[in-house]
């Protein structure tokens, strides 16, 4: 066992930004818009770093798939305590059509190459809300998965995961190597402090291409159109209950 954890971090539009659809409806405006690490990926990094601080694992490797700017996201993970990074370069049209299937193939290849004991990902990205990458990665590797984790503990070659599910909390025990996906309440990610940001500049980020890992990036999905949600219509005030019922009938609601 290598004691190595692979953490996937995705560069997304910052959660505080007002999203605007491009005039040609092919996507959203990303130029000049603030980007940052996906919040669930932050939680994943924090969990990995906590495991290292507890000396349960030895090395945290942060991975990101995307254009040049994805390196900034990896640097943030390094500033939070990851040891080294891997930047899988995907740009242009390939990046536009990059989705969970391709990313999970990349992560699976890397997990094998790096002999990772755990792969920790955020449960979903806030731009596409797919919630698929973790599950697909586990399937490709034929590893157990602990998704929607709100608590993780390592116990002698197994991982105990408390999962947030519709009915409440489910506790499972799975063998390692395994894939985990982080839910909101798993932890509170630390801030990157200036001294750690300085130290992170010295940490290594390896570059590679998907082809180096034998991964085909062809997408099986085609985005047809992107639209904003319909504008909220103004409400109407009515004077009497009869008016209300009348209007509801007019609108076909009753």
Partner 1 sequence: MLLGRSPCLRLLSLRRCLLQCRSVSSENTAKAAVDKVLSAFRSICGEDGVSLGEAVREQHGKDESVHKCRPPDVVVFPRCVEEVSALAKVCHDHSIPIIPFGTGTGLEGGVGAVKGGVCFSLRNMDQILDLHPEDFDVTVEPGVTRKALNAYLRDTGLWFPVDPGADASLCGMAATSASGTNAVRYGTMRENVMNLEVVLSDGIVIHTAGKGRRPRKTSAGYNLTNLFVGSEGTLGIITKTTLRLYGIPEAMVSAVCSFPSVQAAVDSTVQILQAGVPIARIEFLDDVMIDACNRFSSLSYPVTPTLFLEFHGSERSLEEQVATAEEITQSNEGSDFQWARDTETRNCLWKARHDAWYAAQALRPGCKAYSTDVCVPLSRLPQIIVETKKDLIENRLTGPIAGHVGDGNFHCLMVVDPSDPDELHRVHLFTERLARRALAMDGTCTGEHGVGLGKRVLLREEVGPLAIQVMQGLKDSLDPKNLMNPGKILLQGEL
Question: Binding residues for partner 1, per CB under 8 A?
Answer: 14, 16, 34, 36-37, 76, 79, 188, 191-197, 234, 237
- The Cα-based distances of 219 to 32, 48, 185, 215, 237 in angstroms read 26, 30, 33, 12, 49
Q: From the CB of 59, what's the least distance to partner 1, in Å?
A: 22
For partner 1, give the closer residue by CB, 191 or 251. 191
For partner 1, give the closer residue by CB, 133 or 187. 187
Q: From the CB of 72, what's the least distance to partner 1, in Å?
A: 8
For partner 1, give the closer residue by CB, 188 or 218. 188
For partner 1, give the closer residue by CB, 15 or 207. 15
Q: From the CB of 152, what's the least distance to partner 1, in Å?
A: 16
Adjacent-strand bridge partners of 5:
60, 118
Q: From the CB of 9, what's the least distance to partner 1, in Å?
A: 12
Contacts for 123 with CB less than 8 Å, ≥ 6 apart: 40, 131, 134, 147, 148, 181, 182, 183
For the chain, the C-alpha Rg in angstroms (whole number) is: 21
The gap between the terminal CA atoms of the chain, to the nearest Å, is: 64
Token code pair at residue 118 = 């755990």
Q: From the CB of 103, what's the least distance to partner 1, in Å?
A: 22
Among residues 139, 225, 150, 157, the alpha carbon closest in space to that of 181 is found at 150
For partner 1, give the closer residue by CB, 179 or 192. 192
Distance CA 249, CA 1 (A): 68
Among residues 99, 94, 60, the alpha carbon closest in space to that of 77 is found at 60
| Spatial contact of 22 and 28, defined as CB atoms under 8 Å apart | yes
Distance CA 157, CA 54 (A): 16
For partner 1, give the closer residue by CB, 26 or 193. 193
Q: From the CB of 26, what's the least distance to partner 1, in Å?
A: 26
For partner 1, give the closer residue by CB, 79 or 121. 79
Q: From the CB of 10, what's the least distance to partner 1, in Å?
A: 14
């Amino acid at each position: 066992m290598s004691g190595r954890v692979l953490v996937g971090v995705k560069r997304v539009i910052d959660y505080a930004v007002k999203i605007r659809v491009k005039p040609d409806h092919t996507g959203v405006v990303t130029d000049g818009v603030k980007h940052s690490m996906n919040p669930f990926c932050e939680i994943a990094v924090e969990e990995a770093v906590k495991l290292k601080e507890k000396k349960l694992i030895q090395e945290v490797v942060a991975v990101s798939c995307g254009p040049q700017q994805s390196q900034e996201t990896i640097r943030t993970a390094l500033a939070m305590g990851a040891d080294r990074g891997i930047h899988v370069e995907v740009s242009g049209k390939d990046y536009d059509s990059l989705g969970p299937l391709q990313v999970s193939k990349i992560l699976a290849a890397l997990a094998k190459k790096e002999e990772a004991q755990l792969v920790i990902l955020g449960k979903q990205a806030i731009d596409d809300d797919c919630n698929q990458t973790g599950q697909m990665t586990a399937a490709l590797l034929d590893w157990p998965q602990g998704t929607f984790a709100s608590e993780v503990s390592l116990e002698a070659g197994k991982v105990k995961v408390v999962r947030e599910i519709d009915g409440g909390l489910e506790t499972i025990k799975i063998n390692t190597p395994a894939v985990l996906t982080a839910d909101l309440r798993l932890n509170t990610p630390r801030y990157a402090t200036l001294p750690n940001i300085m130290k992170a500049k010295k940490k290594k980020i390896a570059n590679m291409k998907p082809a180096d890992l034998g991964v085909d990036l062809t997408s099986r999905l085609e985005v047809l159109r992107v639209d904003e949600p319909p504008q909220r219509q103004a409400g109407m005030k009515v004077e009497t209950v009869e008016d209300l019922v009348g209007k509801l009938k007019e609108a076909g609601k009753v």
